[in-house]
């Protein structure tokens, strides 16, 4: 399938962002579905992998994906295993270890397919914990970006669900806790304790082991994440690599409904992902998709997702293109 | 703020990124309900954002600067809420006669026109921030539609039947564009194509969705809803939607004014036609191309004005602000528009109410009565022009 929209933007050049649906196989032989977006004709741009927030799908990353790809990056997004979206598994079986398995499969695929030895990885919200642990284990992840990164999983889940799910005794656990319309279930609990995901200490241990640069974008009044904890961790001398904490003066954990906040985030994430040197103030111009471009792209990706879901049985390769003002 | 720490192995750079404006904090904020500000908070906020907005237009639009200078008006002179009625206003005709832009440095994303119901069309140019704020205004106003339009509704749980054209087909026509903005909330199917309305297909889609058990929204102009409701009422095969359907109308009756029924009649018809449980499931919204915000009805079918817009009714002859509760020509100062000056007297007759709404929200509500006839509107515009000329001479 090919979708293409052309639009003149005051005579300036337009960029064609092409998105292709791909699949890879995880180490437990399950299918992870990815979208690869790119506007570079020669395929020479840096590769960026984005992990979506909990209970969000890769289509919800359209603004970041477009901003990055319009500026030359090759962007991979994926739906984690046992999560909402197109990859294998049911959401009630979701675990952070399963998300780590999904990310590892995507990183392997992207490095092999794009013939790269390193790439940038972006983790949104809860999945920032996953990208951090992945980076501690895999030096191919040369730079990390956290967006509204979660530090204390137990506290964030308690705030978001009004239920201290991870603070309960195992035998007292409810069948599920509700987050928006989705559930957090016992497999998540068991994995969080068995694999050491819960607790600030475990977040600190993972972060401190990462010698690669980590750039965190954190809303200053995030209702689900304690900013002072993020500052504390990022300021710690136990860190083994450079840390950059960029505070966004917007109140919400999720910036997807705040187009002005999102625009600031797109600009700075793109810069953080593509700048040669994070310490230099090289102010290269970041081209951003406009509001209308993002609206149009979001609607196209929603349809792309729906069509994909219907046609998953055929496992057909799917592509669409859209043109956005540059 | 930049703070750099160095250690043997790690560096930290801690920096606070761009602060949003006071207006953007409210328009795009999710925690504070703009319709729940205390009257005092609301007054201070409105005054501040209007002053900021007018200063922006003076800085970026030489015509506005000279217009204000001719009227010996300065945004800095606004010290109290009552002073907002002293702001010199443009005639809505200005947008029909000339290009009016305050976007000195920012590119125009899209240009929109009015539907041309009364002949000449207004042309309004919007930049990125102005369009973003419009979308923020829609999201905030959608709070008034709860619980029928759930705030965090998942776009996989809801389908919209849009009785108008798609955004692409709407092109520059503002009314169709803004109705199609509902597609951001949920997937939409459009039932005007090539200028032809396919109401039969829309009726089938409603029946199918209700039968399949999903949530459905109908979006369209009142005259199209009227036609669709009549269609169901003329048959025995009607949907029994109960709580699973909501209706949003907007745009008025346009060229179908002769068939117009009063809103309460349309709501009663709609409840019966679709098998709804409450008239509260049907809400009307008001907007016009020159205005950058939308006013939705609450449960009590009162249209609430957001706190970044100042609305006053004006005497049809003298154009002076008249007390709340009296009908007059509607005038607006909308602080959310950046790319064009949004302070004008419109062609609509309406009433601004300062009475507390039973829904508990603060701020004024508005009721629209009719659009004044073209000839009358031209008369008013001439009077406005004459009045402005007189002021200039003084």
Three-class SS string for chain A? Answer: CCCCCCCCECCECEEEEEEEEEEEECCCCCEEEEEEEECCCCCCCCEEEEECCCCCCHHHHHHHHHHHHHCCCEEEEEECCCCCCCCCCCHHHCCHHHHHHHHHHHHHHHHHHHCCCCEEEEEECCHHHHHHHHHHHCCCEEEEEEECCCCCHHHHHHHHHCCCHHHCCHHHCCCCEEECCEEECHHHHHHHHHCCCCCHHHHHHHHHHCCCCEEEEEECCCCCCCHHHHHHHHHCCCCCCCEEEEEECCCCCCCCCCHHHHHHHHHHHHHHHHCCCCCCCCCCCCCCCCHHHHHHHHHHHHHHHHHHHHHHHHCCCEEEEEEEEC
| Confidence band for A280, pLDDT divided at 50, 70 and 90 | confident
Distance of CA A207 to the CA centre of its chain: 17
Does residue B258 come out as left (phi exceeding 0), alpha (psi in the -120 to 50 range) or beta? alpha
Highest-scoring range by mean pLDDT, A144-153, A254-263, A279-288: A144-153
- In angstroms, the separation between the Cα of residue B60 and the nearest Cα of chain A is 20
Residues 85-114 (B) with a CB less than 8 A from some CB of A: 107-110
| Cβ-based neighbours of B57, under 8 Å, separated by 6 or more | B64, B102, B341
pLDDT digits (tens, 9 = 90+) for B299-350: 999 999 999 999 999 999 999 999 999 999 999 999 999 999 999 999 899 9
Tell whether the model's pLDDT for residue A3 goes beyond 60. Answer: no
Q: How far is CA B274 from CA A242, B12, B19, B281, in A?
A: 61, 61, 47, 11
pLDDT at A183: 81
| Stated pTM of the model | 0.85
**Residue from the list B20, B155, B183 with its beta carbon closest to the beta carbon of A250:** B20
**CA-CA distance, B308 to B368, in Å (whole number)?**
20
**Residue from the list B20, B31, B128 with its beta carbon closest to the beta carbon of A291:** B128
Q: Which of A291, A292, A300, A307 to mutate to test the interface with B (most CBs of B within 10 A)?
A: A291
Inter-helix orientation angle A96-114/A127-137, to 10°: 60
Handedness of CA B189, B191, B194, B195 (dihedral sign): negative
Classify strands B343-353 and B90-91 as parallel, antiparallel or unpaired.
parallel
**Residue from the list B9, B12, B155 with its beta carbon closest to the beta carbon of A302:** B155
Q: Residue B167: its chain A contacts at CB < 8 A? A: 296
Mean per-residue pLDDT, A205-215: 97
Residues of A in CB contact (< 8 Å) with B are 9-10, 180-181, 211, 217, 220, 223, 231, 234-235, 237, 239-252, 257-261, 263-264, 268, 279, 290-292, 295-296, 298-299, 302-303, 306
Highest-scoring range by mean pLDDT, A67-81, B100-114, B150-164: A67-81
Q: Which two tokens stand for residue A136?
A: 């501690």
pLDDT at B8: 38
Asked whether the beta carbons of residue A245 and residue B15 sit closer than 8 angstroms, the reply is yes
| Confidence band for A43, pLDDT divided at 50, 70 and 90 | confident
């Amino acid at each position: 399938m090919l979708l293409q929209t052309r639009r003149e933007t005051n005579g300036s050049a337009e960029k064609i962002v092409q998105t292709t649906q791909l699949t890879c196989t995880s180490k437990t032989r399950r299918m992870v579905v990815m979208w690869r977006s790119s506007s570079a004709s020669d395929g020479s741009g840096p590769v960026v992998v984005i992990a979506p927030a909990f209970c969000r799908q890769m289509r919800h990353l359209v603004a970041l994906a477009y901003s990055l790809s319009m500026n030359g990056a090759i962007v991979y997004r994926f739906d984690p295993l046992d999560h909402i979206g197109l990859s294998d598994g049911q959401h009630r079986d979701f675990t952070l270890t399963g998300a780590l398995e999904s990310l590892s499969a995507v990183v392997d695929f992207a490095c092999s397919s794009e013939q790269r030895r390193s790439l940038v990885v972006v983790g949104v919200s809860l999945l920032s914990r996953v990208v951090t642990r992945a980076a501690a284990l895999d030096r191919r992840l040369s730079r990390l970006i956290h967006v509204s990164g979660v530090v204390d999983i137990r506290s964030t889940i308690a705030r978001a669900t009004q239920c201290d799910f991870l603070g309960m005794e195992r035998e007292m656990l409810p069948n599920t806790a509700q987050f928006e319309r989705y559930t957090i279930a016992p497999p998540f609990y068991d994995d969080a304790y068995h694999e050491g995901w819960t607790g600030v200490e475990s977040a600190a241990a993972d972060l401190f082991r990462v010698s690669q640069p980590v750039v965190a974008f954190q809303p200053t009044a995030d209702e689900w994440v304690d900013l002072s904890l993020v500052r504390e961790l990022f300021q710690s001398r136990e860190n083994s690599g450079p840390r950059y904490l960029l505070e966004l003066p917007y109140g919400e954990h999720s910036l997807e409904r705040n187009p002005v906040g999102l625009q600031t985030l797109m600009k700075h994430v793109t810069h953080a992902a593509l700048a040669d040197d994070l310490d230099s103030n090289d102010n290269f111009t970041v081209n951003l998709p406009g509001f209308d471009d993002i609206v149009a792209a979001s609607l196209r990706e929603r349809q792309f997702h729906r069509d994909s879901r219907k046609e998953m049985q055929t496992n057909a390769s799917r592509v669409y293109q859209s043109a956005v003002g540059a | 703020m930049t703070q750099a720490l160095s250690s043997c192995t790690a560096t930290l750079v801690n920096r606070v990124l761009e602060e949003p404006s006071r207006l953007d904090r409210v328009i795009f904020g999710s925690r504070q309900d703009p319709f729940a500000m205390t009257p005092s908070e609301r007054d201070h906020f409105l005054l501040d954002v209007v002053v900021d907005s007018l200063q922006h237009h003076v800085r970026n639009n030489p015509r506005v600067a000279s217009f204000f200078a001719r009227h010996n008006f300065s945004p800095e002179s606004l010290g109290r809420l009552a002073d907002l009625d002293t702001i010199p206003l443009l005639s809505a005709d200005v947008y029909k006669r000339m290009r009016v832009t305050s976007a000195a440095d920012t590119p125009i994303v899209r240009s929109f026109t009015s539907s041309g119901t009364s002949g000449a069309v207004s042309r309004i140019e919007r930049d990125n921030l102005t369009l973003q704020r419009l979308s923020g205004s829609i999201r905030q106003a959608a709070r008034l539609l709860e619980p029928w339009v759930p705030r965090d509704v998942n776009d996989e749980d809801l389908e919209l039947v849009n009785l108008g054209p798609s955004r692409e087909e709407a092109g520059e026509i503002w009314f169709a564009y803004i109705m199609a903005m509902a597609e951001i909330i949920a997937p939409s199917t459009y039932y005007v194509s090539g200028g032809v309305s396919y109401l039969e297909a829309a009726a089938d889609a409603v029946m199918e969705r209700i039968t399949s058990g999903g949530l459905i929204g109908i979006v369209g102009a009142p005259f199209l809803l009227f036609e669709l409701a009549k269609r169901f009422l003329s048959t025995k095969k009607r949907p029994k939607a109960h709580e699973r359907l909501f209706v949003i109308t907007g745009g008025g009756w346009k060229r179908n004014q002769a068939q117009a029924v009063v809103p309460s009649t349309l709501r009663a018809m709609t409840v019966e036609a679709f098998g709804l449980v409450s008239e509260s499931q049907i809400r009307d919204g008001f907007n016009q191309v020159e205005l950058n915000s939308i006013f939705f009805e609450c449960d009590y079918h009162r249209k609430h004005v957001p706190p970044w817009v100042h609305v006053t009714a004006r005497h049809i002859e003298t154009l002076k602000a008249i007390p709340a509760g009296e009908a007059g020509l509607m005038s607006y100062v909308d602080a959310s528009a950046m790319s064009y000056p949004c302070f004008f007297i419109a062609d609509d007759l309406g009433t601004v109410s300062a009475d507390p709404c039973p829904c508990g929200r603060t701020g004024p509500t508005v009721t629209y009565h009719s659009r004044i006839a073209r000839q009358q509107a031209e008369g008013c515009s001439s009077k406005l022009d004459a009045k402005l000329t007189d002021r200039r001479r003084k």
